[in-house]
Amino acid sequence: MNLPLTGRIKPDNSVLNLKEYQAAHGYEALKKALAMPPNDVVNMVKDANLRGRGGAGFNTGLKWSFVPQGEQSATPKYLVCNADEMEPGTFKDRWLMECDPHQLIEGMAISAYAIQASVAYLFLRADYNLSAKVLQQAIDDAYAANLLGDNILGTNYNLKFYLHTSAGRYICGEETALINSLEGRRANPRAKPPFPQVSGLFGKPTVVNNVETFCNIPHIIQHGVDWYKNLGIGEDAGTKLYGVSGKVKTPGCWELPIGTSVREILEKHAGGMQDGLKLKGFLPGGGSTDFLTEEHLDLAMDYGTIQKAGSRMGTGTMIILDDKTCPIGMVLNLTRFFAQESCGWCTPCRNGLPFVRQLLTDIENGKGRKEDLDTLLEYCGFMGPGNTYCALAPGAAEPIQSSLKYFKDDYLEHIEKGCCPYKH
């Protein structure tokens, strides 16, 4: 049986155009949703337990329910798709946008109707040039077919739909920084509350969701809550796009029932480790998650299970660390990225990340001291949750603190030998 998100994608990964999408029952869910009261659509998505696929895992329908409704509520309301996919090791949304753009557009149109938004923005990563080309063509085709714009499909519902290319910074993936950027401001995160659902874009009610999240919506509406729940394994519902990068035999991205084990993803779908290499550890959900190790291979890749193990499922895209790659070098590479991408809005992130980057550089180059390890952990605490405006610094701290937990001997060997043993 074809799984929902990728069931329409062609074997050669070429773009599915409007005619082909409609031949595969595309936009039937939109027609069905427009015949329902908006709140029924919200409740249907909430009951389906669709958790946000951007990393946070919050119930999507519940998030929508926080948008004020009624004659006294503020207008216009906005819907925003977060397609600023810059998390290291993450590439799932790009695949969806480049191969099946109408699935995303239909999902956004249904979601906009559910919260009674009259304007939708697709906020796209600056480097995704092919995605931009494919999406703009699909948007134009949808307008021409009366699937967007005024009186959609003969109803009284109107939706303006815009593709917006981002300013090109990782911080734009944080929803309030994204909103600031969309307004033409510096992409700094905002303090919460107020939350975007009440006061977001231009001070109006706004919902921001991830690409993969929106792509689930048409299937929930078309096939129902029970069908969607039965796709998952365990407590979470639906399917998930899982990715693997690193020194495996077949790196890639696969749609699987949510809750599939780490072992199955790594060994069956990614083909296992390359010849002559062993698994040392892995980041389960992109560059800003805690390391897990071989002892965690049989865990289910779902939100609760991975959290209980001391990490986060995040985007569901694993980065593999092999036994021939230096863990300190890997962490340093990630820390350089996060330090560069900090917006500089708060002190722990602005000053803490460059300081930690220098400590890791010294250790990697054989100039570290044992006391540096305690300092690293102390600074991970300074950058932890609750100490910053957004999750950039807390996320950057996760691979550092977990590498000290699982690979401390590698740190000590660097310090004692005065060099990186993986290079000598």
CATH of residue 300: 3.10.20.600
Q: What is the CATH number of the domain that holds 357?
A: 1.20.1440.230
Are both 221 and 291 inside the same structural domain?
no
Does 234 map to a domain? no
Give me the residues paired with residue 311 across strands.
none
Does 172 map to a domain? yes
Give the whole-angstrom CA distance, residue 238 versus residue 233.
Answer: 8
Last residue of one domain, picked from the residues 211, 229, 247: 229
- State residue 11's pLDDT score: 87
Block means of pLDDT (10 residues each) for the chain, length 424 residues? Answer: 82 93 97 98 98 91 96 94 96 96 98 98 97 98 98 98 94 96 95 94 98 98 97 94 98 97 98 98 97 98 96 96 98 98 94 97 96 97 93 97 98 96 88
- State residue 167's pLDDT score: 86
Are both 92 and 212 inside the same structural domain?
yes
Are both 58 and 147 inside the same structural domain?
yes
pLDDT digits (tens, 9 = 90+) for 43-98: 999 999 999 998 888 999 999 999 999 988 999 999 999 999 999 999 999 999 99
Does 270 map to a domain? yes
Give the whole-angstrom CA distance, residue 69 versus residue 55.
Answer: 27
Does 185 map to a domain? yes
Tokens representing 235 are 């407590």
- State residue 234's pLDDT score: 87
Give the whole-angstrom CA distance, residue 383 versus residue 359.
Answer: 15
Last residue of one domain, picked from the residues 202, 229, 256: 229
**Helix/strand/coil percentages in the chain, nearest 5:** 45, 15, 40
Are both 209 and 251 inside the same structural domain?
no
Does 162 map to a domain? yes
- State residue 7's pLDDT score: 86
Are both 310 and 334 inside the same structural domain?
no
Does 403 map to a domain? yes
Are both 48 and 171 inside the same structural domain?
yes
Does 47 map to a domain? yes
Residue 397: domain span: 327-423
Does 2 map to a domain? no
Are both 191 and 300 inside the same structural domain?
no
Are both 177 and 94 inside the same structural domain?
yes
- State residue 37's pLDDT score: 98
Are both 91 and 223 inside the same structural domain?
yes
Are both 303 and 220 inside the same structural domain?
no
Q: What is the CATH number of the domain that holds 158?
A: 3.40.50.11540
Q: ∠ at Cα 282 (277, 283), nearest 5°?
A: 150
Tokens representing 392 are 């950039």
Domains in the chain, number: 3
pLDDT digits (tens, 9 = 90+) for 262-279: 999 999 999 999 999 999
- State residue 13's pLDDT score: 87
Are both 34 and 135 inside the same structural domain?
yes
| Cis previous bond, 194, omega within 30 | yes
Are both 75 and 204 inside the same structural domain?
yes
pTM of the predicted model, to two decimals?
0.96
> From the CA atom positions of the chain, what is the Rg in Å?
22
Q: How do beta strands 206-210 and 78-83 pair? A: parallel
Give the Cβ contact number of residue 262 at 10 Å. 23
Last residue of one domain, picked from the residues 173, 203, 229: 229
